[in-house]
Amino acid sequence: MKKFHFSKPSISSALLLIGFLIGLSIFLYPVVTQIYSQMNQTHVIDVYQDSLNDFTQEDLEEIKDKASEYNQSLTGETSFIEDPFAETDEAEVSAMDVTSSFNVFTDSLGEVLGYIDIPDIEAYLPIYAGTSDAVLQKGIGLFENTSFPTGGGGTHSVLTGHRGLPTSKLFTDLPDVAIGNVFYLHVLDEVLAYEVKETQVVLPYETDHIAIQEGKDLVTLITCTPYMINTHRLLVTGERIPYTPEEELVSSKETDLPLSPLITIFLPAIILLTLLISFIWYQKKKRGVNLNE
């Protein structure tokens, strides 16, 4: 009767396996964190939608009236709008948060004001008040001193988000949004549709492009560009159009779990791990398998 005696795995094989697992962990970290971020953003949006059930129609109309008054108080001047991506010390950020012009809304709604759906890039993201670093790490921020996103003639809401964060996709794909595409703002009990009319790249201090224009209902989405260099700002400006529910495409981020990253990343990783284990087993057999009678 044959007895099989397998030699112990060599140190080199063990180190190879450990190195592979460490490399695999580093490789998968951004994907895992982005999947978690997508799920968390969807949860935040669900909580926001559920919270609206606590408001009566009278409550919602009161908030809309406050938004209208606030929007009417703004002018077309943009010199007071500062670049949200500029470095600001923590003391200044804290002071800005305390004196936020959006306190009248956050006192009623909390920090989440609504959410944006950009079907063409599958972006489904909560909108927060202000543009502090803490806000921009987790979602899209509404610029201070720009219109609250409830629409209306003579309003211009400005929403900003990061690109290239290892933990969240956010506005990474915003350059793929083209003229003619439509995005949607879900605020309070309304959905506002905006068709992209213009995309442009400007310097951080060029704020004339986000000024209020008389009679127009505009929303501009802003992020840094070029990717990872961030010397300029990409502006994607949409103008209000009638909302047609049938035309709003369902963003893939509304699913319980994004399957595309799982298929394109985890499956190859599993295949590579299987190949590595097979290679180690083959090397071990080649070096140390002894067959004794």
Q: Measuring CA to CA, how many Å separate 62 from each of 15, 57, 103, 116, 139? A: 65, 9, 15, 22, 26
> Highest mean pLDDT range out of 103-107, 111-115, 247-251?
111-115
Of 85-99, 167-181, 238-252, give the lowest mean pLDDT range.
85-99
pTM score, two decimals? 0.76
Could you tell me the pLDDT band of residue 246, with boundaries at 50, 70 and 90? Answer: confident
Average pLDDT over residues 238-252: 78
Domain, as residue range, for 241: 55-251
Examine residue 131 and state whether it is found in any structural domain, yes or no: yes
pLDDT tens per residue, range 52-97? 999 999 999 999 999 999 999 987 665 566 776 766 554 444 444 4
292 has a pLDDT exceeding 60: no
Examine residue 159 and state whether it is found in any structural domain, yes or no: yes
Which residue would you say has higher pLDDT here, 176 or 145?
176
For tokens 């962990």, name the residue. 25
Examine residue 292 and state whether it is found in any structural domain, yes or no: no
Examine residue 22 and state whether it is found in any structural domain, yes or no: no
Q: How many helices (H) and strands (E) does the chain have?
A: 7, 10
Could you tell me the pLDDT band of residue 259, with boundaries at 50, 70 and 90? Answer: very low
Rounded-to-integer distance, Cα 232 and Cα 220, Å: 15
pLDDT at res. 216: 96
Could you tell me the pLDDT band of residue 141, with boundaries at 50, 70 and 90? Answer: very high
Question: How many domains, in total, are found in the chain?
Answer: 1
Rounded-to-integer distance, Cα 146 and Cα 168, Å: 25
Of 63-72, 224-233, 274-283, give the lowest mean pLDDT range.
274-283
Please name which of 207, 216, 213, 192 lies closest in space to residue 160, comparing C-alpha atoms.
207
Examine residue 261 and state whether it is found in any structural domain, yes or no: no
Could you tell me the pLDDT band of residue 255, with boundaries at 50, 70 and 90? Answer: very low
Examine residue 138 and state whether it is found in any structural domain, yes or no: yes
Examine residue 124 and state whether it is found in any structural domain, yes or no: yes
Rounded-to-integer distance, Cα 64 and Cα 122, Å: 28
267 has a pLDDT exceeding 60: no
For tokens 């009678």, name the residue. 293
Examine residue 223 and state whether it is found in any structural domain, yes or no: yes
Please name which of 200, 220, 211 lies closest in space to residue 79, comparing C-alpha atoms.
211
pLDDT tens per residue, range 109-132? 889 999 999 999 999 999 999 998
Q: Find the helix or strand (DSSP H, E) in which 42 lies.
A: helix 11-51
203 has a pLDDT exceeding 50: yes
Is residue 43 classed exposed, middle or buried when 0-12, 13-18 and 19+ CB atoms within 10 A define those classes?
exposed
Residue 143: CATH number of its domain: 2.40.260.10
